[in-house]
Amino acid sequence: MVFNGLLYQKGYKNMKRIGLMVALFVSMFFMTSCNKKTPEKGETKVSTEEVKRETGEALETKKTYLTQQKEKYQKDAESTLNYLSDKIKDLQAKAGQAGADTKAKYNEIIEGLQKKQGEAQDKLNELKLKSADAWEDVKSGMDAALESLKSSYNDAVSHFK
Greatest mean pLDDT range, 24-33, 44-53, 81-90: 81-90
The model's pLDDT over 29-51, given as tens digits with 9 standing for 90+, comes to: 666 665 555 555 656 677 888 88
DSSP letters of 81-104? Answer: HHHHHHHHHHHHHHHHTS-HHHHH
Residues of the domain holding 144: 5-159
pTM of the predicted model, to two decimals? Answer: 0.63
Whether residue 113 contacts residue 91, with contact meaning beta carbons closer than 8 Å, is answered with yes
Contact 99, 22 (CB under 8 A): no
Q: What total of structural domains would you count in the chain?
A: 1
